[in-house]
Amino acid sequence: MTGVAAPLPIANVDTDQIVPGRFLKGTTRDGLGKVLLAPLRYDPDGREQQDFILNREPWRQAKILVTLDNFGCGSSREHAAWALADFGIRTVLAPSFADIFYNNAFKNGLLPAKLEAGAVERLLALAGNPATCLLKVDLEAGEVTAATGETFPFDVPAEKREALLSGLDEIGRSLKLEPAIAEFETRHLPGVPPIPNGKF
């Protein structure tokens, strides 16, 4: 996958920044791209902040986000992953991610790739320049390549990579283990009191 990379040189970008609480009132996964990073993208009256990276060309078309440590910390809202994906972001490059966001990303075809801090520094610089902001992300090779020819290896667990490449239906796969689940339940459920429906 090749695309424009946008630099977001902020650490601890939390899910309240990615999608603020007031935009969580929907009942579908769609349409959150326009509120992605709303506090940074828009002023209090809802007008675009001219100087914010995603409001400028060519980064309006960004498919890659380069950012700092602990991206996606905070709430478990999968809306964060939905908003990134809906905007068109396919890969987030960062030194580290918060656990829940990391999991949520894979489930939405979004690659959270971990790189060394030094590599991220360099990628931020490349992404910030319109002449060098086009990056190639090769999931199979586990490598980001810049137009300058520089390459940066990234880390992604093998099973997560496979899942992304094959578009795995995780629930479908788990349901194939139905016999194991049922067998586990015969041993386990006698110790787990059921909740009567209609009690409240």
Partner 1 sequence: MSSGRTLYDKIWDGHAVAPLSGDDWLLYIDRHLIHEVTSPQAFAGLKQASRQVRRPELTLAVADHNVPTIRRKLGVAGIADRESRAQVEALERNVIEFGIPYVPLIHRQQGIVHVIGPELGFTLPGMTVVCGDSHTSTHGAFGALAFGIGTSEVEHVFATQTLVQSHAKNMRIQVNGALGTGVTAKDLILAIIGQIGTAGATGHVVEYCGEAIARLDMAGRMTVCNMSIEAGARAGLIAPDEKTFEWLKGRPLVPQGEAFVEACSRWRRLRSDPDARFDREVVIEGPEIAPMVSWGTSPEAVTAIDGRVPDPKEASDAGRRAQIARMLDYMDLRPGQPLAGIPIDQVFIGSCTNARIEDLRAAAAIAREGHVSPGVRALVVPGSGMVKQAAEAEGLDQIFLDAGFDWRDAGCSMCLGMNEDRLNPGQRCASTSNRNFEGRQGPGGRTHLMSPAMAAAAAIAGKIVDVRTFGV
Q: Given the rule CB under 8 A, which residues bind partner 1?
A: 10-12, 14, 16-17, 20-22, 24-29, 39, 44, 68-70, 73-78, 81, 96, 98-100, 103-104, 107-108, 157-159, 162, 170-171, 173-175, 177, 180-181, 184-185, 188, 191-200
Question: Could you please report the per-residue DSSP string of 46-61?
Answer: S-B-TTSGGGSTTGGG
| Cross-strand pairs, 113 | 93
Q: Taking the complex as a whole, how short is the minimal distance between the CB of residue 78 and partner 1, in angstroms?
A: 4
In the bound state with partner 1, the residue whose beta carbon lies nearer, of 50 and 166, is: 166
Residues 6+ apart with CB under 8 A from 29: 78, 82, 86
Q: Is the dihedral of CA 16, 17, 23, 24 positive or negative?
A: negative
In the bound state with partner 1, the residue whose beta carbon lies nearer, of 1 and 175, is: 175
Q: Taking the complex as a whole, how short is the minimal distance between the CB of residue 138 and partner 1, in angstroms?
A: 20
Element spanning 14, H or E: none
Work out the number of other CB atoms within 10 angstroms of the CB of residue 13. 25
In the bound state with partner 1, the residue whose beta carbon lies nearer, of 91 and 104, is: 104
Distance (Å) of CA 80 to CA 38, 45, 75, 102, 198: 11, 22, 9, 11, 34
In the bound state with partner 1, the residue whose beta carbon lies nearer, of 28 and 50, is: 28
Q: Taking the complex as a whole, how short is the minimal distance between the CB of residue 177 and partner 1, in angstroms?
A: 5
Q: Taking the complex as a whole, how short is the minimal distance between the CB of residue 102 and partner 1, in angstroms?
A: 9
In the bound state with partner 1, the residue whose beta carbon lies nearer, of 9 and 136, is: 9
Q: Taking the complex as a whole, how short is the minimal distance between the CB of residue 158 and partner 1, in angstroms?
A: 6
Identify residue 66 by its one-letter amino acid code: V
